[in-house]
Amino acid sequence: MPIEDDLRLVMEQEAALVFERFDEDVAFELGGLIRQAGKVLNRGGITTGIYTFDRTLFYGATSGGTEFNRRWIERKFGLVKLMLKSSYRVVLERGDKPRVEPGWARGAATPPRPDRRPDRSRRPSPGRACCAG
Where do the structural domains in the chain lie, given as residue ranges? Answer: 3-98+106-114+128-132
- What count of residues does the chain have? 133
Give pLDDT tens digits for 79-118. 989 998 888 899 889 987 766 555 555 566 777 666 655 4
Whole-model pTM: value is 0.71
CATH fit for domain 3-98+106-114+128-132, picks 2.60.40.10, 3.30.450.150, 3.40.50.280, 3.40.50.20: 3.30.450.150
